[in-house]
């Protein structure tokens, strides 16, 4: 489906869904661009079929909405979790107002990488000249150190799970799939599958998945069987909360500028996925549902044009835009087939940073309230569980606070690079 990517020295690299992230983060710019173009072209080759599939999924959502007399597909999608549509609207409104923060970051990235024009294929390029490598054991100790505000029982559970009880399938092996996830069920350990390679990204991934695992662990310990799960709206809170605590801890305790820059690079990669790509796709999705709701067709050409427009707006005027290949980004995320799923990745990161700020500052009751949130499972609706933890998700304040964190990270990179 994808032609090989070609490195600067002419060496070919296989492009698959499992290898594209590694290619995208290579220090070889020729390889990055070749891989990005190959991955986009492979999707362009089947764009009409993918557009028809997406259009059919949205038509089904519209039909179900009308039959059940909801006001919109957005309202229908959020009803099960008792979420008001204002949560979605507030997120995208704040995101659109704060796009200049992203423009500032892309321009900084261009200067750090030393290129005349930044391209989308440069978005994941390493900012440092060298990439530090950490042992798994050192990574566990750093993560445990960052989690100290949550108390000894929490920290010791994480340490025991990582080092003694084999929660984590740590290293790459032949035939092992890519990516990472936390899984399990009541009565088992909250196991983690990942491929630890010692990079700052792997360190962040381990912290992220341990957040999911501890969310599951405390829910299973606290709730009866019917409530031993949690909704997607809160699923990414605990994982991003761990990463937020870890970054602050490392930036305060590790003085090596090479490690600090690697930590900041990992932080921006996480923000880019959750707080740039996902909200932009949510903007595309909103227009798709509105268009189908008016009984208008959705074609690959229209999807490509609107996706290119919205991503170009997010990248700003200084980024080189290949409209056809940037426009196919909608097809590279199957999340869009589940109505109004992608925006919930963004709500996870801004709720996580709002909660982490209180815990890091040592606010009275902040840690206990956060642990109560982790233990609530499905016994509370998502907004009520987050209110218990100390954040109100119906207004713009948590999103604005997350953009303030993003802006501070950009400032730190500018000071180091």
- Domain co-membership, 23 together with 63: no
Q: CATH number, domain at 2?
A: 1.10.287.830
- Let me know if residue 201 belongs to a domain: no
pTM score of the predicted model: 0.92
Tell me, yes or no, whether 367 lies in a domain.
yes
pLDDT at 413: 96
Nearest to 94 by CA among 269, 354, 413: 354
Looking at the domain assignment, is residue 362 inside a domain?
yes
- 404/181 Cα distance (integer angstroms): 29
Residues with catalytic annotation? 209
Which residue is it, tokens 């590694």? Answer: 22
On whether residue 136 sits in a domain, the answer given is no
Number of domains composing the chain: 2
Residues 27 and 121 in one domain: no
DSSP output for 38-49: HHHHHHHTTHHH
- Same domain for 5 and 104, yes or no, is no
Do the domain assignments include residue 79?
A: yes
Query: Are 40 and 60 contained in the same domain?
Result: no
Task: Answer whether residue 169 is part of any domain.
Answer: no
CA angle 371, 86, 385 (to 5 degrees): 15
Residue 139 covered by a domain: no
pLDDT of residue 203: 97
Block residue for tokens 């954040």: 391
Res 138: pLDDT? 98
Which among 310, 343, 330 is positioned nearest to 57, based on CA atoms? Answer: 330
With a CB cutoff of 8 Å and minimum separation 6, the contacts of 69 are none
Q: How far, in Å, CA of 321 to CA of 341, rounded?
A: 27
CATH number of domain containing 334:
1.10.1370.20
388 and 298 housed in the same domain: yes
Does residue 261 sit in the same domain as residue 294?
Answer: yes
Pairing of strands 191-193, 168-169: parallel
Residues in Cβ contact with 34 at an 8 Å cutoff, skipping those fewer than 6 apart:
5, 6, 7
Q: Do 362 and 414 have their domain in common?
A: yes
pLDDT of residue 112: 95
Beta-strand ranges (E) seen in 121-190 are 168-169, 181-183
Beta bridge partner(s), residue 168: 192
Same domain, yes or no: 228 and 331: yes
User: Which residue range is the domain that position 119 belongs to?
Assistant: 51-129+220-417
Task: Classify residue 3 by its DSSP letter.
Answer: P
Q: Which two tokens stand for residue 281?
A: 């796709």
* Residues 353 and 236 both lie in one domain: yes
Pairing type for strands 12-13 and 5-6 reads antiparallel
Structure tokens at 325: 């290949």
Residues 40 and 93 in one domain: no
Ranges of the chain whose pLDDT falls below 50 = none
Distances (CA, A) of 195 to 35, 51, 87, 177: 21, 33, 35, 9
CA–CA–CA angle 28, 310, 20 (5° rounding): 30
| Same domain assignment for residues 377 and 255 | yes
Give phi and psi for 198, each to the nearest 5.
85, 0
User: Would you state the pLDDT for residue 17?
Assistant: 85
Same domain flag for 56 and 36: no
Q: Where are the alpha helices (DSSP H) in 316-342?
A: 323-327
163 domain residue, yes or no: no
Alpha-carbon distance of 84 to 62, in angstroms, equals 18
């Amino acid at each position: 489906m994808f032609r090989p990517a070609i490195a600067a020295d002419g060496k070919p690299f296989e492009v698959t869904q499992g290898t594209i992230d590694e290619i995208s983060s290579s220090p070889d710019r020729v390889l990055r661009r070749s891989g990005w173009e190959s991955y986009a072209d492979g999707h362009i080759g089947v764009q009409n079929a993918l557009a028809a599939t997406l259009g059919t999924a949205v038509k089904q959502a519209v039909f179900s909405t009308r039959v059940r007399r909801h006001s919109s597909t957005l309202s229908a999608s959020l009803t099960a979790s008792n979420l008001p549509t204002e949560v979605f609207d507030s997120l995208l409104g704040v995101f659109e107002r704060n796009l200049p923060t992203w423009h500032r970051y892309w321009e900084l990235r261009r200067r750090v990488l030393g290129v005349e024009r930044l391209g989308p294929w440069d978005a994941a390029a390493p900012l440092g000249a060298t990439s530090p490598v950490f042992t798994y054991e050192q990574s566990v100790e750093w993560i445990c150190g960052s989690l100290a505000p949550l108390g000894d029982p929490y920290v010791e559970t994480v340490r025991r799970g990582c080092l003694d009880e084999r929660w984590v399938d740590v290293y790459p092996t032949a035939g092992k799939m890519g990516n990472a996830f936390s899984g399990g069920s009541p009565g088992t350990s909250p196991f983690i599958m990942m491929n630890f390679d010692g990079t700052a990204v792997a360190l962040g991934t381990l912290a992220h998945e341990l957040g999911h695992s501890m969310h599951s662990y405390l829910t299973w310990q606290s709730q009866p069987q019917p409530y031993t799960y949690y909704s997607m709206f809160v699923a990414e809170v605990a994982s991003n909360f761990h990463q937020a605590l870890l970054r602050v801890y490392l930036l305060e305790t590790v003085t090596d500028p090479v490690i600090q820059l690697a930590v900041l690079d990992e932080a921006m990669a996480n923000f880019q996925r959750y707080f740039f790509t996902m909200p932009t796709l949510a903007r595309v999705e909103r227009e798709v549902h509105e268009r189908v709701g008016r009984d208008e067709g959705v074609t690959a050409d229209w999807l490509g044009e609107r996706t290119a427009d919205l991503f170009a707006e997010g990248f700003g005027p200084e980024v080189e835009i290949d409209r056809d290949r940037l426009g196919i980004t909608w097809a590279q995320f199957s999340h869009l087939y589940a109505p109004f799923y992608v925006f919930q990745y963004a709500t996870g990161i801004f709720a996580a940073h709002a909660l982490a700020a209180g815990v890091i500052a040592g606010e009275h009751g902040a840690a206990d309230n956060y642990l109560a949130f982790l233990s609530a499972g499905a016994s509370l609706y998502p907004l009520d569980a987050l209110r218990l933890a100390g954040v109100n998700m119906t207004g713009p304040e948590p999103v604005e606070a997350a953009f303030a964190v993003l802006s501070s990270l950009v400032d730190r990179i500018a000071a180091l690079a």
